[in-house]
Amino acid sequence: MSRRGGEKNKFFFFGRVLCVSIALLWGIHAFAASSFKIGETVFVAYPAGNIKDDAFIVGRITGVNEKGDYFLSVLDYVEGHDYGLSCVPMTKKSASGHETSPYDTAWDVWQDTTVLEKERLEYLVSAQDVMKLNEGKHFFIERHNLYIVFGRWKSDAPMLTVERLERAEKEAQDNRIVQMVAALQLAQQHRRSFYDHFQRPYQTYETIAPLNDLLKKVLFLFEQDDELRQLWQSNVRDWKALPNNGQYYFLLEAIDKIISDAKDQLYEDGLEKVAPLVMQKFKENLTRFQGKIS
């Protein structure tokens, strides 16, 4: 009996949804449209392409510069993120008055840019990264929850239902985490290839036809998106090395799992029950992936 799950069903792909701008992809600019007052506690968001490396700062605004960017005093943050890429340190006495250049002392103090100095420094952050505190917390919690759902699918969690994956797709759309939508749609079709409506695991021979449909769907995606195909062929999986802050990260992860699981089915018992023509087409499609697509 096979260990994974789903049944054949329609697949809705959002075409060029991956080509949205990075601002819309994260939804940060939509939240950052509000202006914030001095003394207000805010959430400074630094989402990562793989979600796992998301970072944030919770801070109190102490000033605004002529560009509309904010000085803030740090209250809490995620350690390990390189904030030197996104924050400018200011000595506290100059952050509010802007009377002297902060660089003489601030850069001496801020040696490790993965750790934020709370006592002596304040930081200048871009207005586009600043969100209302409650909205920021909600946004990042939802991202984390979706990351967990996707991880449960990758690990073949037996109690993960297609309905939960469908709900995750809607949550991704509602929270503007659109780079996950196509991957979650593939995950749904994958799950239906191994379990029926009642969560009964399919016998191995029952999985071959729906898995072949899934392989054909991946081949179709490659035909529609040459960049996706080239990235898959190159084995680039580091989200930092992927275009637009890792917009293809989850889709590549999903495709890798689908191909790996399909190959595994060739070593399961019971394949003699599969119709010969269905088995032939299944093997032919797998061979195309092994040959890196012709």
Domain boundaries, the chain: 17-23+176-290, 28-133
pLDDT surpasses 50 at 183:
yes
pLDDT value for 87: 94
- Nearest Cα neighbor of 189 from 56, 13, 3, 54 is 13
Per-residue model confidence (pLDDT) at position 101: 60
Q: Do the beta carbons of residue 205 and residue 270 sit within 8 Å?
A: yes
Q: Which long-range contacts (CB under 8 A, 24 or more apart) does 98-104 make?
A: 98/63, 98/65
Residue 206: per-residue pLDDT: 96
pLDDT surpassing 50 at residue 14 = no
- pLDDT score at 213: 97
The structure's pTM equals 0.82
pLDDT in tens, 203-261: 999 999 999 999 999 999 999 999 999 999 999 899 999 988 788 999 999 999 999 99
pLDDT at 28 over 60: no
Percent of the chain with pLDDT over 90: 72
Confidence band of 272 (pLDDT split at 50, 70, 90): very high
Please give the Cα distance from 75 to 41 (Å, whole number). Answer: 9
Q: Which residue has the tokens 């979650």?
A: 184
The model's pLDDT over 35-93, given as tens digits with 9 standing for 90+, comes to 899 999 999 999 999 999 999 999 999 999 999 999 999 999 999 999 999 999 998 86
pLDDT at position 292 is 67
Half-sphere exposure for 270 (CA within 13 Å, toward CB): 12
Question: E strands along the chain, which residues?
Answer: 41-46, 55-64, 70-77, 87-91, 121-125, 130-132
Return the pLDDT at 142.
Answer: 95
For the stretch 134-177, pLDDT in tens is 999 999 999 999 999 999 999 999 889 999 999 999 999 998 89
Chosen CATH of 28-133 out of 2.30.30, 2.40.350, 1.20.272, 3.30.70 = 2.30.30
Q: For residue 104, what pLDDT band results from cuts at 50, 70 and 90?
A: low
